[in-house]
Amino acid sequence: MAESRIGDWAQTPSGRKFWPLDPRSEEIHIEDIAHNLASQCRFGGATRSHYSVAQHSVIVSYSVSPPNQPRALMHDSPEAYLFDLPRPIKHHSRLGVEYERIEENILVAVCARFDLPLLEPAEITVVDKYRIILAERRDVMGPVPDAWKEEGYEPLPDLIVPWTAEEAHYQFLARYFELFEERAKQTLPQKGRDFTMDRDPEIVEIVRRTRPEAFRFEEHALGIVARIDHVLQFAPKGVREALLDAREALRVAGQGHVQGVLDRLTTTEALRDRLLALEKLISCDTQQIAQLPKLYESDVRYLVGADGPLYDAAGIVRRGGADAESLVAWRCAELRMNGLAAKPFIKWYDRPDGNRIYTVVVLLPDGTSEDVVQRLHEKGV
């Protein structure tokens, strides 16, 4: 007999059932949350362009202290299974009261699923209910007809450049992996290491559906390992030792290969989406270049290992520096304003240990590149 559940179920993007009136933690999946929040527009769609709940959540996560960042990223996750109800309805109607009850029940399931505190820290509340609201009003909304009740708080300083739904989906997942998962390091396979222990099953499921060929070598190698296991039962001692060595080499090669594929896929998707984000940032920078000093005549610095969102040129000046990507966007905007079709470009380097690293440079129309970080170093900043 089928188990009785409250209400009816809805199908999620991953093809699962979810009961909004009877939520359970084991039925919460990050893939569904990322997709739905990226598809939903803030303020009931009353923004100048698509500005998603997913992007809002990522920005909030970067705007609070590190211990609160995981909870901040997931603060609106119940809306993935409902929708973003506009405040006038949510806080001033009987419908809003019932909505908040359902939302709270889903939040309980989400917090249990991701081991988060149910009570929202005050720091997150201030950013979510006031500071980012004012920044969103400034950057993504139309003309303001009257004062907002959030007046009196300091808006978040950095310009919000809306992402597409696809980009928001990726950025939300990337931020989730950063905050919640111990990501496998890109090292050579070592004897005895089990790469499958480093994999989140949901990540594997996403890649298995989109790139099934990535797992065929591993499956073949582990199939041979299984046959070796059968032969080991009957092998003489000398042969057994050789088989054990072969078994270990196959296991590590199979698992290490697929882990390398996962890492490369993640890097490729990240870089493609990052270049799209840089193009949007360049468009934003071209609108404010005239009011700012030239990049190489300013006092900004390259900040090594700077993490977080991209910064527009004005944001870089306020911070005193930024990572290579944000600096490249500023420089591309300057060159385009002078009639040169410059664009950001990924440049790869081979390291002595066999790994590859990349940096972002400015690609010029003649095919040469300009390394902004190197130019700043030569300038002595």
How confident is the model over 138-151, as pLDDT tens digits?
Answer: 999 888 888 777 77
pTM of the model: 0.52
Domain 292-381 class, CATH top level: alpha beta
Most confident of 178-182, 296-300, 310-314: 296-300
Q: Do 323 and 371 form a contact (C-beta atoms < 8 A)?
A: no
Domain boundaries, the chain: 10-180, 181-286, 292-381
pLDDT one-digit tens code per residue, 155-184: 998 888 899 888 888 888 888 888 886 432
What is the predicted pLDDT for the residue at 28?
A: 92
Q: CA-CA distance, 62 to 133, in Å (whole number)?
A: 15
Q: Would the pLDDT of 113 be above 80?
A: yes
What is the predicted pLDDT for the residue at 83?
A: 78
Q: CA-CA distance, 166 to 93, in Å (whole number)?
A: 33
Q: CA-CA distance, 329 to 259, in Å (whole number)?
A: 32
Mean pLDDT value across residues 350-362? 69
Q: What is the mean pLDDT of the chain?
A: 78
Neighbours of 266 (CB within 10 A): 16
State the distance between the two ends of the chain, measured CA to CA, in whole angstroms. Answer: 71
What is the predicted pLDDT for the residue at 274?
A: 66
CATH number of 10-180: 1.10.3210.10
pLDDT one-digit tens code per residue, 79-91: 999 877 777 787 7
* Tokens matching residue 60: 């909030």
What is the predicted pLDDT for the residue at 78?
A: 93
Most confident of 38-52, 311-325, 340-354: 38-52
Neighbours of 377 (CB within 10 A): 12
What is the predicted pLDDT for the residue at 7?
A: 86
Backbone angles phi, psi at 227, to 5 degrees: -70, -35
What is the predicted pLDDT for the residue at 197?
A: 44
* Tokens matching residue 256: 């290490």
3 state SS of 251: helix
Specify which residues 235 forms β-bridges with.
none
Please give the single-letter amino acid code of residue 290.
A
Longest alpha-carbon distance in the chain: 86
**Helix 53-62 and helix 30-39: axis angle, to 10°?**
110
Residue 18: band (very low, low, confident or very high) from pLDDT cuts 50, 70, 90 = very high
What is the predicted pLDDT for the residue at 191?
A: 34
- Strands 321-322 vs 343-350: parallel, antiparallel or unpaired: unpaired
